[in-house]
């Protein structure tokens, strides 16, 4: 009886942790970035609410160079870039609070640029270049 109660409590706690982590990682908005013909840079403006992330998806080819810069009035907007394999590009991993990144892309496919605030809400300008 005691073991059964402990198992039930553990299951309830596990379910609550999954629910909480899902709520914490909520997505704000998702937008596919399309560069106008002849252009290699797109400037995106937005506002992200504490506890959420905005996601910008853009297609790119292996060997291209991506340059990303984010600015915000309160210096509280950062980004993480996930490759087509869902692995963060080196230097943009969550917790590093990236605001500038330049690098050669290792894979062809869709890259996701996740914007999040480091504190409070953040109004930002995200500049993305692919060459």
Q: Where are the domains of the chain?
A: 27-130
pLDDT band at residue 5 using 50, 70 and 90 as cut-offs? low
pLDDT band at residue 4 using 50, 70 and 90 as cut-offs? low
The residue-averaged pLDDT of 14-34 equals 63
Domain formed by 27-130, architecture = Sandwich (2.60)
Answer positive or negative: Cα dihedral of 76, 21, 93, 89: negative
**What percent of the chain shows pLDDT beyond 70?**
80
Query: Within 1-131, where are the H helices?
Result: 2-24
Q: According to the model, what pLDDT value does residue 23 have?
A: 41
Q: According to the model, what pLDDT value does residue 26 have?
A: 66
Q: Is pLDDT at 121 greater than 60 in this prediction?
A: yes
Q: According to the model, what pLDDT value does residue 24 have?
A: 42
Q: According to the model, what pLDDT value does residue 28 have?
A: 86
- Closest by CA position to 43, among listed 104, 131, 116, 129: 129
Q: Is pLDDT at 130 greater than 90 in this prediction?
A: yes
Q: According to the model, what pLDDT value does residue 25 have?
A: 55
Q: Which of 25-29, 49-53, 70-74, 79-83 has the lowest mean pLDDT?
A: 25-29
Q: Are 48 and 54 in contact (CB under 8 A)?
A: yes
Q: According to the model, what pLDDT value does residue 13 have?
A: 44
């Amino acid at each position: 009886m005691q073991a059964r109660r402990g198992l039930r409590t553990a299951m309830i706690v596990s379910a609550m942790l999954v629910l909480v982590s899902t709520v914490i990682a909520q997505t704000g908005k998702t937008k596919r970035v399309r560069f106008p013909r002849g252009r290699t840079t797109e400037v995106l403006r937005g506002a992200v609410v504490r506890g959420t992330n905005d996601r910008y998806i853009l297609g790119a080819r292996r060997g291209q160079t991506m340059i990303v810069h984010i600015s915000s009035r309160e210096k509280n907007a950062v980004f993480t870039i996930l490759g087509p394999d869902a692995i963060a590009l080196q230097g943009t991993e969550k917790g590093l609070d990236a605001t500038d990144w330049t690098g050669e892309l290792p894979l062809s496919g869709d890259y996701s640029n996740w914007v999040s605030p480091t504190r409070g809400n953040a109004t930002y300008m995200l500049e993305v270049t692919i060459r």
